[in-house]
Amino acid sequence: MLPKRAVAALAITTLALVLLLNFKTPDDAVAARTSGTVGVVAPANGAGTGAATARPGAVGTTGRATPAPTTASGNGSSTSNGSAKTVDGQVVSTRYGDVQVEVVVSGGKIQNIVALQLPTGRRSGQISTYVAPILHDEALQAQSAKIDLVSGATYTSDAYAQSLQSALDQAGV
């Protein structure tokens, strides 16, 4: 026969385990946290899957306000205002969602990179929130799409580099 303390401890442990296994995080909570961190917001329809899109004037990955894009959204669109040229890279699909970046080039140098689309959802959104500033900073430092992949975000890192390379090719850099 088990002592009363052992029975109570077993019951509490079982209850805690059941509650832990049934815990689910809402998709919208990840998308809401993402919007203020890396310039990514949830789709207007409130869907928690797919890819997020950046808002004009949103806070970018550097923490500074990103100027409103001068391009029409879409694949490969580009414009220039003065000597700066803004180009959208191709949309790269991954198993976790689409990735697309926009690059601002001036004088043959990358001035800024904005993630237009990154994977969203529970774990994918958390990974995107973590990896976007790292990829942004690496690409600006390297001044190319030849950047290291981030461990734990291989698909997103690779897609980011592919989209960036397509934008740089279109910009003639």
Q: What is the mean pLDDT of residues 78-88?
A: 74
The crossing angle, in degrees rounded to 10, of helices 122-142 and 27-38 is 20
What is the rounded end-to-end Cα distance, in angstroms, of the chain?
Answer: 77
Give the residue from 123, 157, 99, 118 showing the smallest Cα distance to 29.
123
User: pLDDT tens digits, residue range 88-143?
Assistant: 999 999 999 999 999 999 988 999 999 999 999 889 999 999 999 999 999 999 99
Is 139 in contact with 127 (CB distance < 8 Å)? no
Q: What percent of the chain has pLDDT over 70?
A: 65
CB atoms within 10 A of CB 152: 10
Q: What is the DSSP string of 18-85?
A: HHHHH----HHHHHHHHHHHHS-B--TT--SSSB-BPPTT-B-TTSSBPPPPSS-SSTT-EEEETTEE
CB atoms within 10 A of CB 64: 9
pTM: 0.57
Q: What percent of the chain has pLDDT over 90?
A: 43
Q: What is the pLDDT of residue 65?
A: 36
pLDDT band at 159 (very low <50, low <70, confident <90, very high): very high
Q: What is the mean pLDDT of residues 45-57?
A: 38
The answer on pLDDT for 74 being more than 60 is: no
Q: What is the pLDDT of residue 81?
A: 56
- With H, G, I as helix, E, B as strand and everything else as coil, classify residue 126: helix
Q: Which residues of 43-60 are buried (b: 16+ CB within 10 A; e: fewer)?
A: eeeeebebbbbbeeebbb
